[in-house]
Structure 1
Amino acid sequence: MGELSAMDTVRAADKIIHDVGAKWMLDKATWAHGKENGYDNPFAHYFAGRCGVLGDVDADVVYAALGWFAPGLVRPMWEEGVAVAGAREAARRYALACADWGRDNVPEDPRLCELGERVVAAAEASGLPLFAGWRAEPLPEDGPARLTHVLHLLRELRGGLHLVATTAAGLSPLEAVLAANPPERAQFLGWQGDFPECGHLKPQREEAEETTDRLSAAVYERALSPAERAEFADLVGKTGTAVLG
């Protein structure tokens, strides 16, 4: 199988991990799972479920941990979601939704799960509250559910590192969104009003991407040998093909 550098592992695996996570969180089956558990609004389910690991905090804390989303969207969705059963219970129910979706959609792969868990364990969680919160949650016992949870952890790791990197590059969340996306993306994330022109910030956005890749690569470097990184990237690719098509 050969060997792979840590940076090449980032380039081979991280986008697939992101897309698998996005697929389960946006799947109608996940929304239906939320409705069965008391969350009539799928977005309230998303905010309370994903961020419930932060505990009983104000919406401003959730906004700070998430990045990207407008505070005017975060507050009503968070407050509606936690009103159902509290923050920690929302996280527990969201983890169950993740596990059920994994059982239905993700092929069992004990080796990928093992390697992924080693990456998760090797990560330094300072400045990454969502990742730290999810890492503290119990892992499911059965294979597909456990692997899906691990992939979610890896996604939260990359997302947290990216928020750190965009902040270090001097970008606000809205600027980071607009520097790389059309205004419609900002609107989807809850931002309203007249948007500033952020094309001149593209170099800073590219700098943030490079920093994110470097921080992510450092985790792979600590966690896996070059041969294991090649194996990990290959297995992530196979899982991505099975889940994403």
Structure 2
Amino acid sequence: MPELSAAETVRATDKTIHDIGSKWMLDPVISERGKELGYANPFAFYFAGRGGVLGDVDGSVVSAALGWFEPRTVRAMWDEGVAVAGAREAARRYARAFTAWGEERLPDDPRLCELAERVAGATEGSGLPLFCGWRAEPLPDSGPGRLLQVLQVLRELRGGLHLVATTAVGLAPVEAILTGDGEGTAKFLGWRGDFPDCAALKPRRAEAEEITDSLAAAVYERALSPSERAEFADLVAKAGAAVLG
């Protein structure tokens, strides 16, 4: 039976899990569902929905947990979003929207869901508030919707670990963006004005990526055997092919 190391599993799965999440988050279908649920502004639905698992907190707390967005943008969109129905209800509505999306687009794969839930359950959640918030949310009973929500939990895991890593190497959020994806992504995430030249900080970004991969690999090492890791990677790839093409 094929086997994978924990590090190989990170390289084989984490980007696909991230991209599946980005696919539904950016899909106009989710924005339209948000409007039906009372959120005229899709960004308000996004911030209140994704951050709503943190509960009734100030927007600065959500900004700290998300990490990459310009803080004033987060606060404005959070305040607008939670004004509709509160924080926890926003998270529930957001989950209903994206699990419905998953029901139409993901394969029904109970084995992948089982393995993904084991990865989530094996994670030490210290310093990962958004991941822990989503892990604590009730899941659909079964089916592709449940799988998509579990993959969302794992996406928040990778994002949280990366935020820990970039902070550990001394990168501010905007510096982490500029040393990676660049100014276009920084603007998309709400940052404005003249951007600093962060070329000298790129070695720190590379170090942060290594730390993130190491932290993620430790989770896979605890959660799955080598053969299960190979199976997990294969099933993630199949889910990715179904959603991403």
TM-score category by the smaller chain?
over 0.9
Output one character per residue of 1:83-116: Cα deviation in whole Å (capped at 9) or x when no partner.
Answer: 0000000001011012101101111101000000
Give, in whole Å, the separation in 2 of the partners of 1:183 and 1:145. Answer: 34
Which residue of the partner structure matches residue 21 of structure 2? 21
Shift of 1:194: 0.8
Identity over the aligned pairs, expressed in percent?
A: 71
Contact 1:72 1:191 in 2 (8 A): no
Which residue of the partner structure matches residue 113 of structure 1? 113
Give, in whole Å, the separation in 2 of the partners of 1:104 and 1:199. Answer: 43
Secondary structure at the counterpart of residue 137 of structure 1:
coil
Secondary structure at the counterpart of residue 141 of structure 2:
coil
TM-score, L = length of structure 1: 0.99
Task: Extract unaligned runs of 5+ from structure 1.
Answer: none
Shift of 1:159: 0.4
Which residue of the partner structure matches residue 89 of structure 2? 89
In structure 1, give the amino acid aligned to 2:126.
S
Give the aligned length. 245
Give, in whole Å, the separation in 1 of the partners of 2:189 and 2:243. Answer: 25
Shift of 1:173: 0.2
TM-score, L = length of structure 2: 0.99
Which residue of the partner structure matches residue 124 of structure 1? 124
1:169-180 to 2 correspondences below 5 Å: 169-180=169-180
Give, in whole Å, the separation in 2 of the partners of 1:207 and 1:79. Answer: 35
Output one character per residue of 1:117-166: Cα deviation in whole Å (capped at 9) or x when no partner.
Answer: 00000001100000000111001013100000010000000000000000
Which residue of the partner structure matches residue 234 of structure 1? 234
Q: Which runs of 4+ in 1 moved over 6 A?
A: none
1:137 correspondence with 2:137: yes
Task: Extract unaligned runs of 5+ from structure 2.
Answer: none
Output one character per residue of 1:196-217: Cα deviation in whole Å (capped at 9) or x when no partner.
Answer: 0001111000000000000000
